[in-house]
Chains A and B, each alone.
Chain A
Amino acid sequence: MSTRTALWRNGLWDANPGLVQLLGLCPLLAVSNTAVNGLGLGLATLFVLVLSNLAVSGVRRWLADEIRIPAFVLVIATLVTVVDLLTRAYFPGLAVTLGIFVPLIVTNCTILARAEALASRSGPVDALIDGLAQGLGFAAVLLLLGAGREILGQGTLFADAELLFGAGAARLEIHFPIDGVLLAVLPPGAFIGLGLMVALHRRLDRRRSGRVAEGAPEDPAAEAAP
């Protein structure tokens, strides 16, 4: 069972798709301008990733090397379309918020990478665990980056939560007494924010493995805060 623990650890921290593998950056950077947007894309990605891992694991015996990649692309594109149609039919409110993000999931290399690296060589249980772990890891990065950019950029947190969770969630919105720093909401803010998160991740990793000193700068993460 220790390999399953490793799957969880990899997805959530050691090989986190957003912070370590740096996969799926196109949707990650584009849609992390608010916490709710980030969470919305994160959940949709998680859903597709789990389904795609399961499907690829299920058909893995039929997939010769020559057709693996086209078959993965076919599976992923089909699933994304199905998810898109189902959301628009049964959760029209959510579809309005997620509308632009759902097709973006196709561009997320994380899903292809997991199909290739893990799901096509593992049984359905491992594939499921890996999909959950990688998806949750990716969603967490999106949520944190979105929350950071929203607080700095607009002075709010969880604005428009009602679009994702229904009318009652409007109360979740928190206002901070700061004027928005526009940079945080614009595309450069996404790069800077992600860069800081990657740096922090590496620092924590290094500290944990007890190799702190080694000429690393004093505090690379805190320095450049806007």
Chain B
Amino acid sequence: MNDGALPHRPALALAALGAVAALLLGGVHLLTRDRISEAEQRRALDALTGLLPDSAYDNDLLDDRIEVRIPGLAGESTVYRARLDGRPVALVADVVTERGYSGTIRLLVALEAGGVVEGVRVVEHSETPGLGDRIEVRRSDWIEQFGGTSLGDPPIEEWKPDRRGGAFDTLSSATITSAAVIGAVRAVLDWYASNRRQAFEDRHDEDPDAPDDEGGGP
């Protein structure tokens, strides 16, 4: 194939190909960057607004958010705050639990400002198809059982799957998955109970640096 016209310089050819690939990728990246981040924001917003009725708040959820550490959950969680006329109405916590059966489960937990669960949705998971994946709302209505619950209702010691003596339905053959989701919702409730005031404050980054003289939780 190298008979004639072109000099036999494989390294140069490969370098040229690499340069073309880099240019192409750079160009496509520039072209698509804005659209991709826009699409991802819209998707995140859709998931959030699905949990709260439109009329309940008038602020921009994606702008009004803080990063917090919630004990029992992985890494930093994002908390979006919903307000009506400036008053706190509800919050949606975007959290990740590591107690799933096969990996992490990411879920959105919506709480009314009073501490009652508005709704829960699983956003990402890798649980067993046919068993654990029934935590998705499109596969079963199991996840709906959290609506209306709070820390005292059911009592704290019953925040477990019923297979383990708790008050919540267990997905059959997926007790670990069920327990992970229940535990994550409870972790958010626990965090909110001891950080109720800070949860809606402006620019609240980490627990310790909030200038708060009473009840500044652990």
Contact = CB atoms under 8 A, between A and B. Distances in A.
Interface in B1-46: 1-2, 6, 8, 10-11, 13-14, 16-18, 21, 24-25, 28-29, 31-32, 35-36, 39-40, 42-43
A96 B131 CA distance: 22
A150 to B, nearest CB: 10
B135 to A, nearest CB: 16
Interface of A: 33, 59-64, 66-67, 70-71, 74-75, 78, 81-82, 85-86, 88-90, 92, 95-96, 153-154, 160, 180, 182, 185-186
A60 B1 CA distance: 9
B28 A75 contact: no
A60 B13 CA distance: 11
Interface in B180-198: none
B130 interface: yes
A71 B18 CA distance: 8
Contacts of B36: 85, 88-89
Given A67-B14, A82-B25, A180-B130, A61 B32 contact: no
Nearest to B11: A67
Per DSSP, chain B at the interface is helix
User: Max chain B CB contacts within 10 Å: which of A85, A89, A90, A182?
Assistant: A89
A182 B17 contact: no
A185 to B, nearest CB: 5
Contact of B13 (A63, A75, A82): A63
10 closest A-B pairs by beta carbon, nearest first, are A89-B32, A92-B39, A89-B35, A64-B10, A78-B21, A67-B10, A62-B13, A67-B14, A185-B129, A85-B32
A150 B75 CA distance: 36
Contacts of A96: 43
A90 B25 contact: no
Contacts of B35: 89-90
A181 B32 CA distance: 42
Given A85-B29, A88-B36, A74 B10 contact: no
Given A62-B6, A186-B128, A186-B129, A88 B32 contact: yes
B105 to A, nearest CB: 16
Nearest to B15: A67
Nearest to A64: B10
Contacts of A85: 28-29, 32, 36
A89 B39 contact: yes
Contact of A78 (B16, B24, B130): B24
B17 A186 contact: no
B14 A153 contact: no
Contacts of B16: 62
A80 to B, nearest CB: 11
Contacts of A66: 10
29 contacts: A60-B1, A62-B6, A62-B13, A62-B16, A64-B8, A64-B13, A66-B10, A67-B10, A70-B14, A74-B14, A81-B28, A82-B28, A85-B28, A85-B32, A85-B36, A88-B32, A88-B36, A88-B39, A88-B40, A89-B32, A89-B35, A89-B36, A89-B39, A92-B43, A95-B39, A96-B43, A153-B129, A185-B130, A186-B130
